[in-house]
Structure 1
Amino acid sequence: MTLKDLEKILTESLQDFKLDQSEKIKFKELSETLTDDQVGFIKNRAFDLSRPFVEQGGELAVRVHNWLERVIKAIQPVQSGVQIKSSAYFSPGKDCRNNIIRLIKGAKKTVSICVFTISDNKITQAIMDAHNRGIDVSIISDNDKANDRGSDIYQLMDKGLNVILDDSPYHMHHKFMLVDSRVLLSGSFNWTRSASDVNQENILISYDDDLVSLFNQNFEKLKRSFKA
């Protein structure tokens, strides 16, 4: 099946803003034969098709969002009936930092980072390494914290990475990352040396499609907002 065929199925299912039973069955049957690239194509195209309606807001946005969630669930391949479990890590200690770096190193296509600040040189190096091997890295961060001594934000900008700073008088205080639009990392952990060395912090890693979808939509919303 070609990408054009997949797009046609997707577009037809959006016409009534719902995924009926026959369409669910069709997507589930497809999921057993699709390659990883085809699954990624459907996910990305579904986000693209839903975005104009979501931006309009209102009841229609809710219906389209529900459609998007059902499509993602239907085409998400399940391997050997095994579901990847969520995991949590805590600091002080190296666990939080090491798992952030592990996910960045394991990225195949995209890394979307939305954090208050970045000043841990080991994490910064992992981000630059990902960029240098062709991963599409996008970063949203706080404009005030970018000026702090030790911040690596402007260094990342100078290396050619796509870095967007908020333009509000308030703080962009999120701390989350999406990898390949399928893994979510979130928690209290600031991407700083002190967060690993002395602070009481946490991260949660989740493969839940609904959570990944919600955080992905918020990331895109913030990106558009701060670019405007």
Structure 2
Amino acid sequence: MDKVIIAENLSLAYSKDETIINKANFSIDSGSFVFITGASGSGKSTLLKSLYGALKPVEGSLVVGGVELRGVANSKLNFLRKHLGIVFQDYKLVKEWTIEKNIMLPLIINGYEKSIMESQVDSLLKHVRLKHQSGKYPLELSGGEQQRVAMARALAHNPILILADEPTGNLDDYSSQLIWNLLEGANEQLKTTIIVVTHHIPEAMKVEYKHYHIEFGDIHEVV
């Protein structure tokens, strides 16, 4: 099976004085579902940032989707990001845009035709059960609804990899379950690789998954 992520002796830090991730070695298969856990401040979000190039490795190698991220050029990083979907705990929606335009963002970046974008957005609004909120702006929605918009945006361009940072951390039970169902569906039906940073792995996961835990800068698989 192809590897979508390969880390070799990967070290991550925000300053020279404090290494967050220290000489980590791991790989993630294409099409897998992966949870990353760890205590607050252990480096979960730091690791996730490195996977979409927001934080560059200080040592070692990190290859995501065939792109080496240590010292990566902006052109290659932009190419990689066109194939990623990212879901943040605080949604990161553009407040001045309707939810349709927010979902359309990755399609705009990837240069899709207007008719294709409109059709895809309509389908995704139904998929995340927000068709009845069509035309609304993010701040007119509940937190759970905003996260469902963010999830639809992450799915819009059929990415090879979705990175989710505590995607259900602030949500009610209904929205949380819907987000998990959407992530599981993307993994099962589209074979999208899913990586989720979380404090708690849901008990009723329907898909097989791998579990990595971060502790004292070390990343190890939990079996």
TM beyond 0.5: no
* Greater share of strand: 2
